[in-house]
Amino acid sequence: MKLVKLIANLGYGSRKEVTAMFRSGRITDANGEVLYADDQIEHDQIRIDDEPLDPPAGVLLMLHKPVGYTCSTKDHGELIYELLPPRFRLRSPIVANVGRLDRDTSGLLLLTDDGALLHRISSPRHKLPKFYEVTLARDLKGNEEAIFASGKLMLESEKEPLAPAHMTVISNRQVRITVTEGRYHQVRRMFAAVGNHVETLHRSQIGGLMLSDLMVAEWRMLNETERHLLFTQPPP
């Protein structure tokens, strides 16, 4: 791919703007030698204003989504893209969130520009478990674990029952839920269906990948080990 197109696709500007960046000498190699639009050079050797070029297509990153942020490129209020470099929203293909966490939910959110990978992570067919830490407004009744595990729970206005979900009780008002689907407001609606109300919801893990010590509102690229971990199946 021509350098101008490559750099424009990474969100640095339109092709016209990137051409102007070449002309003004802002694009160099690692030794500070000015590059020209037709040069052939390894991706990791390119610098813009002395900074390494963003990674090429195929990125996968994790974000610790705070409460109050919406998973959207354009919506009212605060958006998850405000927590990432502005270029990520302008890349082609765009770095998109893998599934959604609702505005009032915090925790592990993955983003990628790889459509096949996005599908592999989010499609219910692949049954990748997602782990949620839940606090409830009312005490558990005692039958919730069996209802969620039954594979028969029907949510309002849905045509298919939910796939079995696993629940671990931590205390009367605190549980961990593991689901393999990503239906709209699924965990909140599951508890509404059994007469309870979710007060706080936090996703701590997807597959074998944990949020661990990533601070709220922080993000980072996943390395090869973490990508692999994502698809290892931990016990529920």
Binding site for ligand URA (CB under 6 A): 101-102, 105, 185-188, 201
Q: State in angstroms the smallest separation of the CB of 200 from ligand URA.
A: 11
CB of residue 206 vs ligand URA: minimum separation in angstroms? 11
Neighbours of 10 (CB within 10 A): 23
For the question of residue 102 being annotated catalytic, the response is yes
* CA neighbours closer than 13 Å in the CB half-sphere of residue 90: 15
Which of 39, 44, 54, 102 is an active site residue?
A: 102
Return the number of the residue (21 or 187) whose C-beta is nearest ligand URA: 187
Quick one: CA dihedral 155, 161, 167, 169, positive or negative? positive
Closest approach of ligand URA to the CB of residue 33, in Å: 48
Distance, CA of 141 to CA of 220 (rounded, Å): 40
User: CB-wise, 9 or 106, nearer to ligand URA?
Assistant: 106
Nearer to ligand URA, 22 or 131 (CB): 131
For the chain, the maximum distance between any two Cα atoms, rounded to a whole number of angstroms, is 69
Cβ atoms of residues 134 and 201 within 8 Å: yes
**Catalytic positions:** 102
